[in-house]
Amino acid sequence: MSLKLGPEPESYTLAARAATPPAFDYTPDSWGYGDVAVERKRRQGALFVLLVSTVLLGAVLFVLLRVGGNNLHPVEEGRFYRSAQMNEIDLARSIDQLGIKSVLRLVGTDDSDRESYDSERAVCERKGTRHIVAKMAASRLPWRSELSTLFAALDELAAREELLPVLVHCSQGSDRTGLVSVIWLHDYRGKPLSEARGQLAFVPYMHVSWGEARSMGDFLDRYEAYLSENPQGRLKIRDWVKLHYFEEKPGRGPLPWYDGKTYTPSP
């Protein structure tokens, strides 16, 4: 005797469909099955953590190198070195190891810098090293008076071999020191400006070209703009400063020597 079953009641079909679990995208893994969506989110989370950790590590290294390190590098091996402000022990060690004959200080000697100046001068006197001060600021364009003092110091260093090697430094050894290194290579060693400007780089010198420190690059941009408009001249930086540079000091109008044109880079 056969039992014939009719079609399923509609209510039963709807109930069965409602009880059907949702479909998941599974792929085999070593333990059986794994949810691809969950695994994807896990990888994205790990990538985000890695990215944030890398950025934080870079920021920490930047602070340590720019503020805590000596930032000591050769500009011209055996003749010209650059660094940050050193403590007495590190400065004395560098003088001995590199045979430094002169220290060119770009930091001031006023109250805020007096302690470092006194200790630095004492080390130089003890080591028989010439100590030269040519104060500059990293937060603005250099003034003609500052550049005049700087070029007088560089002229003497270039003319007297017994004063080399020289160690040039500012506070962190990144901005003012970078500009002076560019000037040395370009004006006194005949290097192309494009090559010399490598001394104003983030790696390895930790120079940043934004904020107040961009003034060092702005100064060179003005010089390059003058050269592009006067290709027949090819003046050195020192001669351009003497003949054409106007630093636009606040509250002061153009002086008689100023040729009436401010040289700025073309957009």
What average pLDDT is seen over the chain?
81
- In a shared domain, residues 74 and 64: no
Digit-coded pLDDT (tens) for 100-133: 999 999 998 887 789 999 999 999 999 999 999 9
pLDDT reading at 183 higher than 90: yes
pLDDT reading at 10 higher than 50: yes
pLDDT reading at 63 higher than 50: no
- In a shared domain, residues 55 and 174: no
pLDDT reading at 144 higher than 60: yes
- In a shared domain, residues 145 and 51: no
- In a shared domain, residues 62 and 121: no
Please provide the DSSP assignment of 87-144 as one string: -HHHHHHHHHHHT--EEEE-S--SGGGHHHHHHHHHHHHHHT-EEEE----SSSPPPH
Model confidence at 54, pLDDT cuts 50, 70, 90, reads low
- In a shared domain, residues 111 and 225: yes
- In a shared domain, residues 46 and 165: no
pLDDT reading at 230 higher than 70: yes
Within-domain flag for 19 = no
Model confidence at 221, pLDDT cuts 50, 70, 90, reads very high
Domain count, the chain: 2
Within-domain flag for 250 = no
Domain span at residue 58 reads: 34-68
Model confidence at 22, pLDDT cuts 50, 70, 90, reads low
Within-domain flag for 262 = no
Within-domain flag for 28 = no
